[in-house]
Chains A and B, each alone.
Chain A
Amino acid sequence: MAVEAERIRPARPAGQPGRPRPGLVTTGLVAPPLLWLGILFLVPVVLIFLYSVNVFSFFPGQQAFTLDAWKDFLDGGPFMDLFWKSIRMALIVSVCAVVMAYPIAYFLALVASKRRYVLLLLILTPFLVSYFLRLLAWKVILGDQGVINTFFYWTGLRADGDAVSWLLYSQFAVILTLVYVWIPFVALPIFVSLDSLDRRLLEAASDLGASRWQAFRRVTLPLSLPGVIAAFIFVFIPTIGEYFTPLLVGGVSGTMFGNAIADQFGQSLNWLNGSVLSFFLLVVVGLLLALFARFLTVRRLATG
């Protein structure tokens, strides 16, 4: 891009600022996705906002601008609490996923040498099975007559029938299954950043007397941070609005913000309130993304 700009610039009349005019091909290539985004993303977002202040509705009825639903929500109450709970759960999930994926990525990038792409494919094999089925499998493992509890009965750690019931239909179950699902996703960006690491830096570190741990802490880890942060965002953002996993294994205590939104649009037919919750989530996620993006760029600049 930059090179192209350099090449074009001399041809422009001197003193005229601005970027080079995009060619027909560029416009042709960019327009469909932009149109797609505009119609299927931006328009709905605007509609959701209009819905949330009651100036728009798909259904016939009285429309009048009001911030009541926003006030009710922002004043605190069960939905706000649920939002914070979702943030908390998303944090736990993303930290756990990153911490557990890092050694895998490290192994693949720096230890596994030639076999690493084969191993990488192996890590991705669970995705050949539908998520729904894998969640059902977790139910079989975690249930009161499941694999783990049966093991407890068998070893006598628990009396027969006295199940460890927080294994399934709990916050724990949601966090566990989400971490499990995210690990391969998370390993990828970390792997990429470790893979592109200049090995000579590690050699230099060891030449200069750094121990392996010091080399890791002072060289490898900082250089892989962009990947780690990208991985963290990768997990954290979608997990805040998670819906399906808590629905299946969350039970009463594992409910998350996404479930509340689904209920508002579904069985409660309260699209006004649902729009408030959705738009709020969208804004929070947008802000977080902006924040992370900034952080990432600075990091990149610092390391690159």
Chain B
Amino acid sequence: MSSDPESPIFERRLGRREFLGLGAVTVASGFLAACGASGGGGEAGGGDTAAQTAQHPPIGQEPGNLEVFEWAGYEYPAYGGKNGPLKPYVDQFGKPKFTFLTSDDQALGKVRAGYRPDTVHPCVDYTGNWVEMGVVQPWDPSLISNFKDLDPVLVKGGQIDGQQYFIPADWGFSSPLYRADKVEPEDGESWTLFYDERYKGKISWWDTPLENFVIWGYVNGVDDPWNMSDDELDEAKDFLISKKHLCRNFWSSQTDLDADVAAGNIWICYAWAGSYTAAKKAGLDVVYSEPKEGRLGWNCGFVLMNDTDNYHHAHEWIDAWSSVESAEWIINNYAYGHANTTVDLSNVPKDYVKVFHLDDPKAREEPNAHYSRPVTSADRARYAQRWDEVKAA
């Protein structure tokens, strides 16, 4: 909503609700696409990546007009600065064209309606949706020199049917953030803080179709919080409706959330690293908690569109993104993690290392943390429908 020029990261996860404004544009582009585009999809999946690479002309014969569908704040030169990690690519191949997405759902909708960039930066839990839509192809890891340095857990998370459809880039936790001077968790740190009647009107859940159900799932120990049965979802829905009076609001823009935390309107919230650093900067005594049910985690990265003319350019771009310089930059500037594991953490603020366990890959693994998992659009719809009901109730 508002853009803080000094912290472009705040734009990154901007509310999914801003979609309405874009809706008109999307409808228009969809209309054009319906008239103009035909065919496309269907080709994803299967095939050996090396053989696939062989089908593409060498990099010299590509047009080189790489188009990246990105989060604001992740474009050159905002990301890394003019002489940062992306400079080598820009020097060699020129600056890519950037278009901006405001949420995974919006990005998916825009591509569904006919938009065709070369590569997109969604989060890993949406990889399945991209593959399902038939608009992406697997990467060829052998073309990415930094691939070997990427966290194997995250790399594995980006595979579908053994194919690397998603190259992990940035990651972070999602956890309850609370004001240590106002809030006393009753029985250790837990996600149940979100349902604590003592803090009525001081809580803010994230406005998202999936996560509130997933949290309920972990709290209640269901088999698979990312793929709950309809019965479980209905139970979760009823529970969330019964607890939503505790929430002051459901936040959708991190900037708004940070302002509410700073203004004392919110004491407990679902938060990313950025909100922790923002609250600290505002001089608040906050804790980024380690719930006993485990933190949630998110991981975003890149998918490769299957009708790209810039197959090799896209790989080169991702190679630059995957570099250790890129990793160092994002940790220091946005306090998010990076898939590249070879960062020298002595150059990173100690508090960040401690709070976000940057030095301990185990902290990012089950059962310590639960990373977002691919969810089919049919399953996502089952969650989304109920979340809409929670909100409307």
Contacts and interface: CB of A to CB of B under 8 A. Distances in A.
A168 interface: yes
Contact of B113 (A59, A165, A252): A59
Contact of A59 (B18, B112, B201): B112
Contact of B105 (A165, A251, A267): A267
A269 B20 contact: no
Contact of B385 (A60, A168, A169, A268): A268
B265 A79 contact: no
Interface string B198-211: 00010000011100
Contacts of A243: 20
A267 B34 contact: no
A263 B10 CA distance: 21
Interface in B13-33: 16-20, 23, 27, 30-31, 33
A94 interface: no
A119 B76 CA distance: 50
Contacts of B391: 252, 255, 259-260, 263
Interface string A77-98: 1110110000000000000000
A269 B105 contact: yes
B103 A269 contact: no
Contact of B209 (A139, A253, A268): A268
Contacts of B69: none
> Of B17, B18, B106, B385, which is in contact with the most chain A CB atoms at under 10 Å from its CB?
B17
A255 B113 contact: no
Contacts of B244: 252
Interface stretch (A102-110, A142-150, A182-190, A219-227): A142-150
A161 B14 CA distance: 30
A66 interface: no
Contact of B17 (A58, A163, A168, A266): A266
Interface in B237-260: 244-245, 247-250, 256, 259-260
A261 B388 CA distance: 10
Main secondary structure of the interface of B (DSSP, over half): helix
Contacts of A252: 244-245, 247-250, 391
Contacts of B247: 251-252
B393 interface: yes
A240 to B, nearest CB: 15
Nearest to B109: A269
A211 interface: no
Contact of B388 (A132, A168, A264): A264
Nearest to B392: A78
Given A58-B113, A267-B103, A251 B248 contact: yes
Contacts of B113: 58-59
B249 A269 contact: no
A168 B392 contact: no
Contacts of B256: 248
Contacts of B160: none
A65 to B, nearest CB: 19
A79 B388 CA distance: 9
Contacts of A79: 388, 392
A247 interface: yes
A270 interface: yes
A146 B245 contact: no
A267 B27 CA distance: 15
Contact of A267 (B208, B264, B393): B208
A44 interface: yes
A151 interface: no
B90 interface: no
Given A264-B388, A266-B19, A266-B105, A169 B263 contact: no
B265 A144 contact: yes
B387 interface: yes
Nearest to A247: B17
Interface in A108-139: 132, 139
Contacts of B106: 266
B317 to A, nearest CB: 28
B184 interface: no
Interface in B80-136: 103, 105-106, 108-109, 112-113
A265 interface: yes
Given A252-B247, A262-B17, A169 B392 contact: no
Given A78-B392, A79-B392, A252-B250, A262 B19 contact: yes
B376 interface: no
Contacts of B229: none
Contacts of A261: 20
Contacts of B2: 132
B248 A267 contact: no
B59 interface: no
Given A251-B247, A262-B19, A262-B20, A270 B264 contact: no
Most chain-A Cβ atoms within 10 A of its Cβ — which of B19, B33, B103, B392?
A: B392
Given A169-B248, A251-B249, A270-B381, A263 B388 contact: yes
Nearest to A256: B392
Contacts of A132: 1-2
Contacts of B385: 268, 270
A99 to B, nearest CB: 29
Contacts of B388: 78-79, 260, 263-264, 268, 270
A168 B27 contact: no
Interface of A: 44, 58-60, 77-79, 81-82, 132, 139-140, 143-146, 163, 165, 168-169, 243, 247-248, 250-253, 255, 259-270
Given A58-B30, A169-B249, A267-B209, 16 more contacts: A58-B27, A58-B113, A78-B388, A81-B393, A143-B263, A144-B263, A169-B265, A251-B248, A253-B245, A262-B19, A263-B17, A263-B391, A265-B20, A267-B207, A268-B384, A269-B384
Interface of B: 1-2, 16-20, 23, 27, 30-31, 33-34, 41, 103, 105-106, 108-109, 112-113, 201, 207-209, 244-245, 247-250, 256, 259-260, 263-265, 377, 380-381, 384-385, 387-389, 391-393
10 contacts: A78-B389, A169-B249, A252-B249, A262-B23, A263-B17, A263-B391, A266-B17, A268-B388, A269-B108, A269-B380
Nearest 3 pairs of A and B residues by beta carbon: A266-B19, A78-B392, A58-B30
